[in-house]
Amino acid sequence: MPRYVRPLAALSGGLALAASLTACGGSSDASGSAESKGGGEKVVTVYSADGLKSDKGDGWYDRVFADFTKKTGIEVKYVEGGSGEMVQRAVREKTNTQADVLITLPPFIQQADGKGLLQSYKPQGSDKVNGADKAPDGKWTSVVNNYFGFIYNKKELPAAPTTWEELLDAKYKGKLQYSTPGVAGDGTAVLIKSMHDFGGKEPAMEYLKKLQANNVGPSSSTSKLAPKTDKGELLVANGDVQMNFAQSKSMPNLGIWFPAKDGGKPTSFALPYAAGLVADGPHSENGKKLLDHLLSEEAQKLVSEVGGGFPARTDVKPTDANAVELTKLMGGVEIFEPDWADIDKNLSSYVDAWKAATGS
């Protein structure tokens, strides 16, 4: 695994913050009435990684989807799940495509491209997105930037853990959980970060094998771990900055932290929500319009203020209270750059190694 590290302050577009994605309507069913689908003129279906939906209906998706519908008259049908789950659903539906837009985390957006699920489209505003955060051929573009992290219960733990090694302590037995690698984007991120921090696949698997003694077990959804942590059912879980920062507004016991290897510095890496136009989608023209809207200055400026995250556009630099707080949170965290091509190519072998090490 690559070990290139750079200070967060050096990131282009840095900590101008992007939105807490939150879903309009929260529907888990892509099917619409015959009338809504007739002609494909007034509906667009979005398949998205979870962690972006607000149960209270006050998140970024809620706001930008509502604005989009008001502006265009196009209704947004929303389906969410784990990153890998959404890709696999789209694969199963390839002969009868239901989704128009797919939004998921690396390496699953690359996986979707490799499976022929995406068609090229460069949304308006994508020229303002860093080259590393979009595909050169327009198959996908980040719409919200984000960083991988962990959470802890601030009520039960006076201070956050600081190292991976601390999590092996017996006090975390049955009180620690991370989402499933290969299924959830943030779960896959546990593998990526541990391989980076421990210096390779083998030492990372040795560590995760030991950690399994404290692990509650698999979870297909990362977003479900935050309520458990807030209630004290868990002391520590994985997550990501955008999602957990948004959740912490209604879950006061959530704290965000970044594990370090003993003797090292806390690290993280960018884990953007990347959007692509689905090949042969039933309402592709509406999908293009929605992608344009998600990358509009209007939508990007709402990112930190409404939900807490990092805008994909480098020319949008919020200065609201959330932006200031998030900048402080990320201070001192070293950001490394995963080799996504390697991860895309070898993800199955990494997940198999994790299964063998943990008995999962």
Under the banding of pLDDT at 50, 70 and 90, the label for residue 37 is very low
pLDDT above 70: percentage of residues in the chain: 88
Distance CA 203, CA 3 (A): 15
Q: How does pLDDT run across 249-267, given as a tens digit for each residue? A: 899 999 999 999 999 999 9
Q: What is the pLDDT of residue 20?
A: 32
Under the banding of pLDDT at 50, 70 and 90, the label for residue 54 is confident
Q: What is the pLDDT of residue 14?
A: 35
Cβ atoms of 332 and 160 within 8 Å: the answer is no
β-strands 141-145, 273-278: how paired?
antiparallel
3-class SS of residue 38: helix
- Determine the length of the chain: 360
Distance CA 190, CA 237 (A): 10
pTM above threshold 0.75: yes
E strands, 33-120, in order: 43-49, 75-81, 101-104, 118-119
Q: How does pLDDT run across 82-118, given as a tens digit for each residue? A: 889 999 999 999 999 999 999 999 999 999 999 999 9
Q: What is the pLDDT of residue 272?
A: 93
Identity at 195, one-letter amino acid code: M
* Token pair of 254 as six digits: 């959530």
Q: Is 90 exceeded by the pLDDT of residue 41?
A: no
Distance CA 337, CA 250 (A): 32
Cβ atoms of 19 and 303 within 8 Å: the answer is yes
- Average pLDDT of span 23-36: 39
Cβ atoms of 343 and 6 within 8 Å: the answer is no
CA 188 to chain centre: 11
Identity at 347, one-letter amino acid code: L
Q: What is the pLDDT of residue 144?
A: 94
* Token pair of 304 as six digits: 């930190």
